[in-house]
Chains A and B, each alone.
Chain A
Amino acid sequence: MADGPGFSSVLQLTDLNDFIAPSQACVKPIKQDDQVGIHEKKKVEITLGDCLACSGCITSAETVLISKQSYIDLYETLDKKKSGQNITVIVSLSHQAIASIGARYGQGFQDSARLLSSFFHSIGVDYVYDLTFARHISLIESQKEFIERKKSGTATLTSICPGFVCYVEKTHGDLLIPYLSTVKSPQQIMGSLVKSLWPFGTQNKSDNYIYHCTVMPCFDKKLEASRTEFTQEDGTADVDCVLTPIELEALFDKEEINFTDLPHRPLDVLHPSLKISDSDSVATHPGNGSGGWSENIIRYGISYFNQSPLNPRIPLKIESKRNKDFLEVTLSPSLENDFTPESKKLTFAIVNGFRNIQTLIQRIKRKTFKYDFVEVMACPSGCLNGGGMIRGDSVDNKLFEKVSELYSSLETYHLSLDDNHDTIKDLYNEWFSDEVLREKLFLTTFKTIPKTDNLLNVKW
């Protein structure tokens, strides 16, 4: 396939302001010029790594979303594989991305998944998975972490959204990092699993290089995949490449692929014990389209502090505060008589969009913050409205409604989120019993990025 800047033209079509636009002037070129004396000016190259390590901007400029993070990289890898190199190529699909493609091409959710599976296999990909299991682990780990933090009196902010994490590290590191959940996002848990344990259920780790590509609802996931925290000992990334539905649409157009004419092919199964049922359908978790972090974890918290079995359907009161993207989640008042004070007092929030993140931060600063746990996503309406999702033609974005509809049509994953459940216990005993391994696979760290005072750039 022809190389070239196809990626950036795609990026120009989209609004990369998932979050907040890059600063007017990147400080890096200035730093390069501080040597005294005559020297030849070198072309300054800015990598994604530079951007992540610098507080000059909030997120990186689109031009910095390097070619490494485009379908060209995937195609080049497939070419290498075809020419005989020992590479296994794995693609992991997020629920939101499958829904976006389905909405764009007028397909149901399961059909969209089967067509995507078919497409990726047709170009030479070995395995195509969905991210349900990785999210399941992420939720279970988050539940455990929540209980520990609640007991020690610390609130938790989710770190699933890389836009939010990037903003925290660059602007409010010292204040907010202590609150960030250290549990990896589904993308990065899948990355760890694929790079450390694949093929699952066997003792022999593959000798092939495993190339792992994810399809995600937002461009910020490319930043997440580029973090140094998410690399193997040999320096290779847990997720080699992140694509979005917008890029897939452009790829189908460019390669003249009649997506809906492809034969259906079920997704591959990670491991027989992790399947939802005998069918090959993709399932999801209860709760909103970002993954239901607040809803699932509060239910776990309620059951834990009430010492009653986990009920994944227990009614919650979800109330809008200020606007539709600032929601408060508590146990439904109709049930309060049956619950201990500790469990009915739990108050969670769902905070989407930059404006509400600001309110959240100011409340934490002024100590008027009262939540036990907050699900934070940088995009208004959460991940179903991610910056990488295909937009409708009109302002009212009918595709978003369709995407939400497709997501809600999914069956719920049958695997329990209760860590006392036999299957979960067996799973952890069999695969993740080693505590050091569990931490390595599922937990991460954050660091404050020092402010660069850049007075040279003052513009009146």
Chain B
Amino acid sequence: MIFDLSSTLTGHKDRVWAVKWRHCGKILASCSSDKDIRLWKQSQNDDNWSCDYVLSEGHQRTIRNIDWSDDGNYLAACSFDATTSIWENKSGKWDCSLNLEGHENEIKCVSWSPSGKLLATCGRDKTVWIWERIEENEFECASVITAHSQDVKRIKWHPKEPFIASCSYDNTIRFSKEINDDWSCYQTLDLHESTVWAIDFNATGDRLVSCSDDKTVRIWKAAEDKWTCIATLSGYHNRPIYDVSWSPTSNLIASAAGDNSIVIYKETQPDFFEVLIRKEKTHTCDVNSISWNPVKSNLLASCGDDGLAKIWDIK
């Protein structure tokens, strides 16, 4: 198996916090403590990736995370300035069309529902907010879920059903859905022994992967609304694991950690996962985020505290 560096994307002036592929697989977005979002594209002449667009002046502090809407026309970004910005693509130009206010302080993650009608945000104020699109450019708060007892690090919509998973500094993963006119938590997974930094669903939505400060990756399986842990992958990272990504095309799982390495896992037999490769020194500092390309299954993007984003060729 090869794990080669395909491109190094330079331009951000501070730590890069997140990378996300647009659903077409042709644009990569990254966000940074430098308060910019950069869009990266492959040039037509050569295969090199370069910065195609800088979305700036949307936030006053670190942009912690970003998410593309399924149709690719909107990019949501959340920031430590307690706001979420919605960027809209208007004939090739990106404009900040909206700013959502409400969180008490730092927002850690933002996620579009598959339909694009709902948006979820979460953050240090321990809450998860569900925003509902009322009109083209108007969102209103549909719910504030106060299930977590600490900082909420990530949220992710299920790819098919109308519910969300969230994970937190309180060591839990929680599932929330709309019950009787309001949203509330209906299931909690508490097997991780420290902060759960990230979660991701597989393409069909019957599996969830989580990673933690406890240096483990866990795989969870759904059976009739109930999630159980089917695998604990430990011993592959020796520092906190900050991100996991489940490839929608190859079904491979990638994890990235504070030990500067990226590990790739595969389900070799039903419910049995093995490490395919462990790549060290992918970045010179913490690897903060990774994202599988949704079209070209061999491409994995990563970013880190070294201010760089990278694209890897894995096959």
Chain A interface (Cβ < 8 Å from any Cβ of B): 17, 20-21, 23-24, 58, 171, 322-324, 353-356, 358-359, 361-362, 365, 380, 458-460
Contacts and interface: CB of A to CB of B under 8 A. Distances in A.
B141 A380 contact: no
B181 interface: yes
B243 interface: no
Contact of A24 (B64, B124, B143, B146): B124
Contact of A323 (B124, B150, B169, B182): B182
Contacts of A458: 80, 106
B140 interface: yes
Given A355-B144, A458-B80, A324 B181 contact: yes
B181 A355 contact: no
Contact of A23 (B102, B105, B149, B182): B105
A24 B141 contact: no
Contacts of B169: 459
Contacts of A380: 182
Given A17-B146, A21-B127, A323-B182, 18 more contacts: A21-B125, A21-B126, A21-B149, A23-B105, A24-B124, A24-B151, A171-B104, A355-B142, A359-B140, A359-B141, A362-B101, A362-B140, A362-B141, A365-B101, A459-B124, A459-B151, A459-B169, A460-B64
Interface in B11-70: 64
Size category of the binding interface on chain B: 20 to 34
A24 B150 contact: yes
Given A323-B181, A362-B101, A380-B182, A20 B144 contact: yes
5 contacts: A21-B126, A24-B126, A322-B140, A358-B141, A365-B101
B146 A355 contact: no
Interface in B135-186: 140-144, 146, 149-151, 169, 181-182
Interface of B: 64, 80, 101-102, 104-106, 124-127, 140-144, 146, 149-151, 169, 181-182
A21 B124 contact: no
B133 to A, nearest CB: 13
A355 B128 CA distance: 11
Contacts of A21: 125-127, 146, 149
A283 to B, nearest CB: 31
A58 B104 contact: yes
Contacts of A361: 102
Contacts of B64: 460
A24 B125 CA distance: 7
A23 B141 contact: no
A292 B66 CA distance: 44
A380 B181 CA distance: 11
Nearest to A453: B105
A58 B127 CA distance: 13
B104 A20 contact: yes
A20 B143 CA distance: 12
| Most B C-beta atoms less than 10 A away, residue of A17, A24, A322, A358 | A358
Contacts of A358: 102, 140-141, 144
